[in-house]
Amino acid sequence: MRLGIIGLPQSGKTTLFNALTRGDQPTGTVSGKIEVHTAVVDVPDPRVDRLSEMFQPKKTIYAKVTYSDIAGLDGSAGKSGISGTLLNQLSQMDGFIHVVRCFEDDNVPHPAGSVDAARDVETMDGEFILNDLVMVERKLERLADEKRKGGGRDKSLIAREIELFERLHAALAEEKPLRDIEISNEERKTLSGFGLLSLKPILVVLNLAEGQESPEISYTHHDSKLVDLQGKLEMDIAQLPPEDAQIFLEEYNIEEPSLNRMIQLSYDLLGLQSFFTVGPDEVRAWTVQRGALAPEAAGVIHSDLQKGFIRAEVVSYEDLTTLGGMNEAKSKGKLRLEGKEYVVEDGDVLNIRFNI
């Protein structure tokens, strides 16, 4: 899972990046260049901790998430769209965390001259919509040429693509993000190579000053969430030793660090879930899309397991931990065999039977 942290200059992108990754990238600098800082972090999951306590493995491995702090967006892409280098970075992301400035600071002037969260949200949405509109128009031009010349792909396939891209164009022309229109799974496969930015899920983060009340902003688009946090405070806590961080969390009445909160929100936003494999060598969390079938989950572990999939031994995390072990789960009938049509549930503990 790769999430791009985006926002207008001086919005606090790097501050949030540091909070999420416990990093120490310099904040408050504006170079005007396209810069990308990337870090891979563990997904905190108390279930992994509990399974590790039970099985005492040689290794405990958490699921991973990659965050990229992407500088270069400033709301001025214009009719030509976003530059190629920056667009390439943005297109590789599975979703976005849009950091929106809500704090006042005379020492850090807002590039637009004033702090207005609703305006900044609209600016970034408009940037992505405009870029997608340019891409869709270019694609429609190529499809029209292909249809006119003939002799290539099947005409019915070209016609379906023209219908799809005309539908996208109509939505974008109305300044509607593509997340808000109905697109089938088959159509999504067609669009997967285009990197359409307004189609990707987005988490809008209102970056508050310490003790600041969150402004009232409505953001009701599909595949989107709106949250608020005190970015500077969260970064300061993340950079403390664990024992000191816990004292600060209690003092400021913060239930958990932003790292935990944001990752869980990201998982929900992208439709992801975790399953586990356990044993004396390794306890590990794996990430799959909700609705994934057992062979797909096997493929996440290793492609050979998916190719030679026979059955999956399955027990839920709750049953396994409540009963105290695999033998107990088996004796109580909670360890079961599932076939290729089994839909993996969040928290399943799997052992894949396969043959190649």
Phi (first) and psi of residue 342, to 5 degrees: -70, 130
Quick: pLDDT tens for 60-110. 999 998 999 998 787 776 555 687 888 899 999 999 999 999 999 988 889
Name the residue among 23, 3, 13 with its Cα closest to residue 65.
3
Helix axes 231-238, 13-21, angle to 10 degrees: 30
Burial class of residue 237, CB neighbours in 10 A (0-12, 13-18, 19+)? buried
Strand partners, 313: 337, 351
Strand-strand pairing, 202-207 and 95-101: parallel
Helices (H) and strands (E) in the chain, counts: 13, 12
- Alpha carbons within 13 angstroms on the beta-carbon side of residue 156 total 0
Provide the 8-state DSSP code for 46: H
Question: What does the pLDDT read at residue 28?
Answer: 64
Question: What does the pLDDT read at residue 149?
Answer: 84
Q: Which amino acid is at 65?
A: V
Contact at 8 Å (CB) between 170 and 180?
Answer: no
Burial class of residue 7, CB neighbours in 10 A (0-12, 13-18, 19+)? buried
Name the residue among 354, 351, 200, 202 with its Cα closest to residue 286.
351
- Report the distance separating Cα 133 and Cα 169, nearest Å: 6
The domain spans of the chain are 291-354
The pTM (predicted TM-score) of the whole model is 0.88
Q: What are the Cα distances from residue 246, in Å, to 190, 208, 237?
A: 47, 21, 8
- Report the distance separating Cα 24 and Cα 262, nearest Å: 18
Burial class of residue 318, CB neighbours in 10 A (0-12, 13-18, 19+)? exposed
- Alpha carbons within 13 angstroms on the beta-carbon side of residue 94 total 14
Which two tokens mark 107?
């020492």
- Report the distance separating Cα 51 and Cα 348, nearest Å: 12
Name the residue among 98, 160, 159, 170 with its Cα closest to residue 133.
170
Contact at 8 Å (CB) between 303 and 356?
Answer: no
Which two tokens mark 275?
């399953």
- Give the residue carrying structure tokens 């009938």: 333
Name the residue among 193, 85, 73, 184 with its Cα closest to residue 130.
73
- Report the distance separating Cα 279 and Cα 351, nearest Å: 10
3-state secondary structure of 1: coil
Question: What does the pLDDT read at residue 7?
Answer: 92
Give me the residues of the chain with pLDDT under 50, please.
Answer: none
- Report the distance separating Cα 160 and Cα 179, nearest Å: 20
- Give the other-Cβ count within 10 Å of 158's Cβ: 16
Domain 291-354, CATH number (from 3.10.20.30, 3.40.50.720, 2.40.110.10, 3.30.300.30) = 3.10.20.30
3-state secondary structure of 95: strand
Strand-strand pairing, 2-6 and 95-101: parallel
- Give the other-Cβ count within 10 Å of 334's Cβ: 17
Question: What does the pLDDT read at residue 136?
Answer: 96
